[in-house]
Amino acid sequence: MKRYKIAVIQGDGIGAEIISEGKKVLEAVSDLDRFELDWIEYPHGAEHYLKTGELIGEDTLKELERSDAIYFGSIGDPRVEPGVLEQGILLTMRFYFDQYVNLRPVKLLEGVNTPLAGKGPEDIDFSVVRENTEDFYVGIGGRMKGKGKGKKREELEIVRKLYNIKFGLDIESDADELAYQIGVVTREGCERVMRFAFELAKEKGKKKVTSVDKANVLTHAYGFWREVFNDVARGYPGIYTEFNFVDAICMWFVKNPEWYQVVVTPNMFGDIITDLGAMIQGGLGLAPGANINPDGVSMFEPIHGSAPKYKGKGVSNPIATIWAGAMLLENIGEKSASQKVLNAIETVLRKGKVRTYDLGGKSKTGEVGDAIVREVGE
């Protein structure tokens, strides 16, 4: 019998509740398909940080590296300044494990309402492949008054020179204050996520890949993105390609979502449009995400936040987390089990008897998990 070592980080807020339901469903399907899941729990999140001052250390990362996958709940706590936990834990893992693909299915399941008039499950079924380690999320930037010190001073000098050359403005004075954020895209970074998108299209029998950018304004970075996309596309002559500006794709997601099959996007734009995608598929409670390194350790999570005001109330929707668990199963090679979980989720939603508050029902978090477990066993 196959055994898989799955690292679990429940995180903050509702994380423990939704991960509990995800584990419950995955254990049910593992019994059915005769494989074992060994859960290794890690405490990292707000409580651990407030008690110890540790976000996530090198020793823990090395332990996680020996896992087959990471199952992640949610991050964020009002007692901790925004960005500290997100960057110190979630982004640290994405970068450490080089999880360069953020994969988000945008699929309207039967039994779920969309806010888009006249659209149904046959119209909303595409995948967004978001580059996950470059762009404006590389962490190069800062805020400074005066001349700064050390590395920040070096970065500041570069920014000042560029600004002076571009606009002819002098920002050399110690009294000047500025903030800057630098985005970086590399050929390797673009190529590998684009190839993943094209291979995903081939695997799923799709015939079109749409590239997102803002090359009409941010010409240096995203003009380069377009060049690399065209280069990669030449290796897939059977797949139609197109370009959409990010503002345009936001409009077309709403008007004609049926047009899209596989969408590949730089990091920042992907962060934005996938939340829009979540809304048209019925809400954040139904939206899973995967942070993938095809040759390493990948991490699976719902894309919603930690919702601290709902912590402990048992009212949160666990479906996004359970769906993320299905993606985890597919990633480790248990494709039949993954499909069983997805089928069970859709059956529960189609029947409509068990629904959490966000979907217009009154069911508790655990009741949704129990209903999906029952359907897995049918």
Domain boundary pick from 161, 183, 205: 183
Whether residue 83 is found in the same domain as residue 170? no
Q: Which residue has the higher pLDDT, 147 or 378?
A: 378
Domain boundary pick from 183, 205, 235: 183
Per-residue model confidence (pLDDT) at position 175: 47
Quick check: is 372 in a domain? yes
Whether residue 103 is found in the same domain as residue 143? no
Quick check: is 268 in a domain? no
If residue 223 lies in a helix (H) or strand (E), which one and from where to where?
A: helix 219-233
Closest Cα partner for 261 from 211, 209, 213, 212? 209
Lookup: tokens for 33 = 């398909």
Closest Cα partner for 143 from 132, 151, 152? 152
Is 60 exceeded by the pLDDT of residue 61? yes
Closest Cα partner for 272 from 60, 115, 130? 130
Q: Domain containing 335: what range?
A: 1-107+284-378
Concatenated DSSP letters of 23-67: HHHHHHHHHHHTEEEEEEEE-TTHHHHHHHS-S--HHHHHHHTTS
Whether residue 103 is found in the same domain as residue 13? yes
Alpha carbon 265 to chain centroid distance? 12
Whether residue 56 is found in the same domain as residue 156? no
Lookup: tokens for 15 = 């994380």
Give mean pLDDT, residues 24-44: 97
Q: What is the pLDDT of residues 350-364, one digit of tens each?
A: 999 999 999 999 999
Whether residue 320 is found in the same domain as residue 371? yes
Quick check: is 327 in a domain? yes
Distance CA 208, CA 366 (A): 39
Q: Output the domain CATH number for residue 21.
A: 3.40.718.10
Quick check: is 278 in a domain? no
Q: Give the burial string for 267-296 (b: 16+ CB within 10 Å, else e).
A: bbbbbebbebbbbbbbbbbbbbbbbbbeee
| Contact criterion met (CB below 8 Å) for 344 and 375 | yes
Alpha carbon 12 to chain centroid distance? 17
Distance CA 255, CA 249 (A): 10
Quick check: is 145 in a domain? yes
What total number of domains does the chain contain? 2
Q: How far is CA 70 from CA 6, 30, 93, 203, 291, in A?
A: 6, 17, 10, 24, 9
pTM listed for this prediction: 0.90
Quick check: is 271 in a domain? no
SS3 316: coil
**DSSP E strand stretches across the chain:** 2-11, 35-42, 69-74, 101-107, 125-131, 135-145, 177-184, 208-213, 240-245, 262-265, 288-292, 299-302
Alpha carbon 132 to chain centroid distance? 8
* pLDDT band at residue 139 using 50, 70 and 90 as cut-offs: confident
Whether residue 2 is found in the same domain as residue 97? yes
Average pLDDT over all residues of the chain = 92
Distance CA 286, CA 274 (A): 12
Per-residue model confidence (pLDDT) at position 176: 60
Quick check: is 125 in a domain? no
Q: What is the pLDDT of residues 68-110, one digit of tens each?
A: 999 999 999 999 999 899 999 999 999 999 999 999 999 999 9
* pLDDT band at residue 241 using 50, 70 and 90 as cut-offs: very high
Give mean pLDDT, residues 50-77: 96
Whether residue 100 is found in the same domain as residue 7? yes
Is 90 exceeded by the pLDDT of residue 154? no
Give mean pLDDT, residues 251-280: 96
Whether residue 292 is found in the same domain as residue 371? yes
Domain boundary pick from 183, 202, 217: 183
| Contact criterion met (CB below 8 Å) for 358 and 317 | yes
* pLDDT band at residue 180 using 50, 70 and 90 as cut-offs: confident
Alpha carbon 373 to chain centroid distance? 25
Distance CA 110, CA 95 (A): 36
Q: What is the pLDDT of residues 194-230, one digit of tens each?
A: 999 999 999 999 999 999 999 999 888 999 999 999 9
Label residue 175 exposed, middle or buried (CB < 10 Å: 0-12, 13-18, 19+): exposed
Quick check: is 234 in a domain? no
Per-residue model confidence (pLDDT) at position 156: 65
Distance CA 322, CA 326 (A): 6
Give mean pLDDT, residues 157-168: 61
Per-residue model confidence (pLDDT) at position 149: 54
| Contact criterion met (CB below 8 Å) for 289 and 300 | yes
Whether residue 103 is found in the same domain as residue 3? yes
Q: What is the pLDDT of residues 312-369, one digit of tens each?
A: 999 999 999 999 999 999 999 999 999 999 999 999 999 999 999 999 999 999 999 9
| Contact criterion met (CB below 8 Å) for 24 and 58 | no
- Which residues, at least 6 apart from 324, have a Cβ–Cβ distance to it below 8 Å? 22, 71, 288, 289, 290, 300, 301, 302
Per-residue model confidence (pLDDT) at position 135: 85
